[in-house]
Amino acid sequence: MSDSLPVSSDLAGEAPGDTYVAPAFRSETYSALVRRRFRRSKAGLTGAILVGLVLLSAIFADTLSPYSPGARDTANQNSPPQRLHIDAAGLYALPLAVALDPVTFEPKFAADETRRCSLRPFARGWSYSFFGANLDRHLFVVDEACPAHLFGTDGLGRDMLSRILVGSRLTLAMAGLVVFTSVMIGATIGLVSGFYGGLVDDLLQRVTELVLALPELPLYLALVAVIPRNLPPMTVFIVLAAILSLLRWASLAREVRGKTLALRGADYVRAAEAVGAGVPRIILRHVLPNVLSHVVVVITLMVPAIVLAESFLSFLGIGVQPPLVSWGLLLNAGKDLQNLGSYPWMLLPVGAIFVTVLGFNMLGDGLRDAIDPHGD
């Protein structure tokens, strides 16, 4: 708007006989101030980059995946990650040959140096739909006869890399959905409760306390147990999101209420009341924008919590149901000790979860420091 207007000299000093020139300040909106302060935090920026990468790879998951997440490579079940090589002709991986250990019958994998499976960039592969368009271009495509599973395969021979990439969508969609609904519920209840006070506040706060007092884990288990088994997987997903949202809004409602309560007594809110502004206007224009920065931080810190919750529930087998793919569901394959010992690459989704959680937490911390006006 007015980012570069200098302070005109008639505003610089008020006293007569003034020879001192006040330092010129640039006109800066609150958001510009926050942005500037955020850029100073290294951890926050790293978090922002990580989050950006995770989100991008979720959006372009199909394009980035060399294999269709459901496609089975029956010749390569439980195959370990193949190393990526590079030479003048481009990227390639060496196929793995299986040999059974004569004593233990344990499959041993050895790289077959005679063949090279090249990864062809931007070639046509399995077809997918991207925002309604049917596409079949991928970042890399591998020939079916000569496999390159960079993250290995699972027990059915499905490519782990592709499954992790595509699985990120459902996990992040779950987080997005839950955060959106619980922020909507929490912020509305918090604003109403804090602004009106009195009986309304009392009532809403008791409800909030009730929700906060519920033991989360047993309740998840109980609620999920109630969901009929024969529902379509997508419906289960939605119901799961609804359950998570219903349990997560309460703490946000608390925080928003506290903020609102403080702002309710602020002079500028009283000033708005004095010029005759109605309740909706005061809430939307004076209270909400000042609460919003706080909510943004809560959102960024809530996402990792939901990612973890989803992974946890799906890991237990009560979350997302196949054939849908999510990170938690992928981890479910590694839940027995024998699998884990023989096929440690089943734990690779943990890495994805780790990066996401770390990124969002760092971003949230950076944002929180940036929006705090008393940080200096």
Partner 1 sequence: MATDIPLLSVTDLSVTFRLDRGIIEAVRGISFDLRAGETLGLVGESGSGKSVTARSIMQLLPATARIAPGASIRFNGARLDQMKDRDLQRLRGNRLSMIFQEPMMSLNPIYKIGTQIAETLRLHKGLGKRDALDRARALLEEVRIPDPAERLEQYPHQLSGGQRQRVMIAMAIANNPNLLVADEPTTALDVTVQAEILALLRSLQERHGMAILLITHDLGVVRRICDRVCVMRHGQLVETGNTKTVFAAAEHPYTRMLIASVPQGRPAPVPEAAPPLLSCENVEVGFLLGRHRVLKAVDKVSLTLRRGETLGVVGESGSGKSTLARALLRLGRIDRGTVTFGGVRIEGLGRKAMRPFRPRMQVVFQDPFASLNPRLSVRQLIEEGLIVNRLGSGSRERLGMMERALADVGMPDTALLRFPHEFSGGQRQRIAIARALVLDPEFVLLDEPTSALDLSVQAQIVELLRSLQSRRGLGYIFISHDLKVVRSLCHEIIIMRNGIVVEQGPCEEIMRDPKQDYTRRLMASAFL
Q: What is each CA distance from 241 to 76, 234, 300, in whole angstroms?
A: 35, 11, 17
Shortest CB 366 distance to partner 1, Å:
16
Consecutive H or E run containing 142: none
Reference 335, options 357, 354, 313; nearest CA is 313
Q: Binding of partner 1 at residue 272 (CB under 8 A)? A: yes
Shortest CB 19 distance to partner 1, Å:
9
Piece of the chain touching partner 1 by CB under 8 A; list 65-73, 106-114, 225-233, 263-271? 263-271
Q: Which is nearer to partner 1, 40 or 124 (CB)?
A: 40
Position among 86, 133, 274, 337 found at the interface with partner 1 (CB under 8 A):
274
Position among 277, 296, 316, 347 found at the interface with partner 1 (CB under 8 A):
277
Cite the beta strand spans of 114-261 per DSSP E.
Answer: 117-118, 120-121, 124-130, 133-137, 140-141
Contact string (CB under 8 A) for partner 1, positions 33-72, x = contact: ---xx--x--------------------------------
Question: How long, in residues, is the chain?
Answer: 376
CA–CA gap between residue 345 and residue 343 (Å, rounded): 5
Expressed in angstroms, the distance from the first to the final Cα of the chain is: 26
Piece of the chain touching partner 1 by CB under 8 A; list 2-10, 52-60, 124-132, 339-347? 2-10
Residues 146-165 that bind partner 1 (CB under 8 A): none
Pair of tokens at residue 12: 């610089």
Contact, 148 vs 142, CB < 8 A?
Answer: yes
Q: Which is nearer to partner 1, 15 or 103 (CB)?
A: 15
Q: Which is nearer to partner 1, 272 or 355 (CB)?
A: 272
Shortest CB 298 distance to partner 1, Å:
19
Residue type, 188: T
Q: Binding of partner 1 at residue 89 (CB under 8 A)? A: no
Q: Which is nearer to partner 1, 2 or 338 (CB)?
A: 2
Shortest CB 263 distance to partner 1, Å:
10
In the three-class reduction of DSSP (H, G, I as helix; E, B as strand; rest coil), residue 91 is classed as strand
Contact string (CB under 8 A) for partner 1, positions 347-376, x = contact: -----------------------------x
Alpha helices for 197-232 (secondary structure H): 198-213, 216-226
**Dihedral sign, CA of 231, 232, 238, 243?**
positive
Reference 191, options 261, 270, 277; nearest CA is 261
Contact, 369 vs 41, CB < 8 A?
Answer: yes
Piece of the chain touching partner 1 by CB under 8 A; list 83-91, 116-124, 178-186, 273-281? 273-281
Contact string (CB under 8 A) for partner 1, positions 6-35, x = contact: -xx-xx--xxxx--x--x-xxxxxx-----
Q: What is the CA radius of gyration of the chain?
A: 27
Q: Which is nearer to partner 1, 31 or 127 (CB)?
A: 31
Task: Quickly count: other Cβ atoms within 10 Å of residue 208's Cβ.
Answer: 21
Q: Binding of partner 1 at residue 4 (CB under 8 A)? A: no
Consecutive H or E run containing 35: helix 30-39
Q: Which DSSP category does 153 fall into?
A: B
Q: Binding of partner 1 at residue 281 (CB under 8 A)? A: yes
Q: Give the footprint of partner 1 on this chain (CB under 8 A).
A: 1-2, 5, 7-8, 10-11, 14-17, 20, 23, 25-30, 36-37, 40, 266-268, 270-279, 281, 285-286, 289-290, 376
